[in-house]
Chains A and B, each alone.
Chain A
Amino acid sequence: MSFLVALLLVAADPVSAEAEAHAIGQRLRCPVCQGMPISESPSEMAQAMMGKVREMQAEGKSREQIIDYFTQRYGDWVLLDPRKEGVLIFLWALPPVALLVGLIVLRRYTKRQAPAKATRVAAVAADPYLDAVRREVEQ
């Protein structure tokens, strides 16, 4: 019961509602701007879209329902952060996978270089001519 009352208080709190509207607006791209979220753009279109967000909030729609409304009209293009599902998960996975592959390649390269360097040093040390020169210099 107390949980329900708390829930109703949060729903009625205009500050929380506006913060939620702002959070939703941060995820949506303004269609007439250069990659700007609708919550930050002063354009009339972005303001109208924020108005739509607030209107849907007032109707009791959830964050996901509001985001879905915009993606049904503008596609996933409208999302400033791509969804972490389906083909789009590839976009999120690519940077860490590329980093991992880079590290593996780097490790293999340095491992291969280490014995070659050791062999070169051993060959120089075993050379009798170089050994004689070293002794001359040290005298």
Chain B
Amino acid sequence: MKWRNVVIAALILLPIIGLLAFGFGRDPHAVPFALRDKPAPDFTLHTLSGGTMKLSEMRGKPVVINFWASWCEPCKYEHDMLQQASSYYGETVQFIGIVYQDTEEAVRGYLQKHASVYPHLLDPTTSVAIDYGISGVPETYLVDKDGVVREKSPGVISGKELRRWLDNRLGGS
């Protein structure tokens, strides 16, 4: 009889403990990577130099999309690393920056002080950021040569992680 009670209590408590462990083991603010292995939402945006860029026209090589803003302090930590990575991979990888909720004037001012080797696009209505499920900046995505979203890094991306992403893609292509 006692054993039966123990078994019943275990059957009730174990799923609850499991559920709590699952819930407390997750960051409730972490936005899931819903676009993984899905076609990258296409966009056509204006560059700071006055031209336009269309994502689907960059097919054939991996594209690193970095959402950033001049008011974003953590974005400054990764800026130099992204420039170096873009120079290192050269023509084999396309790097682009998409400006998130910022003014063109502030972005120009920032880029005058911090040189950039790749184009930066303006997203004045935040529609591209929403298309990618952005929950803040910085946030970086990797779109493969076929236009499929493969990686996402919420927050500051490390050089090591970016290298792993790109070496995996370039090695497999």
Contact = CB atoms under 8 A, between A and B. Distances in A.
Interface string A24-53: 000000011000000000001100110110
A31 B135 contact: yes
B34 interface: yes
Nearest to A55: B127
Contacts of B45: none
Contacts of B34: 71-75
B132 to A, nearest CB: 7
Centre residue among A49, A51, A73, A101 by max chain B CB count within 10 A: A73
A31 B134 contact: yes
A36 B136 CA distance: 15
Interface residues of A, number: 18
Nearest to B30: A77
What secondary structure prevails in chain B residues at the interface with A?
loop
B125 A51 contact: yes
Nearest to B100: A45
A115 to B, nearest CB: 15
What secondary structure prevails in chain A residues at the interface with B?
helix
B68 to A, nearest CB: 15
A73 B135 contact: no
B64 interface: no
B48 interface: no
Interface in B34-64: 34-35, 38
6 contacts: A51-B125, A72-B34, A72-B38, A73-B34, A75-B133, A78-B31
Given A45-B134, A75-B133, 6 more contacts: A31-B133, A45-B101, A48-B126, A51-B125, A73-B133, A76-B32
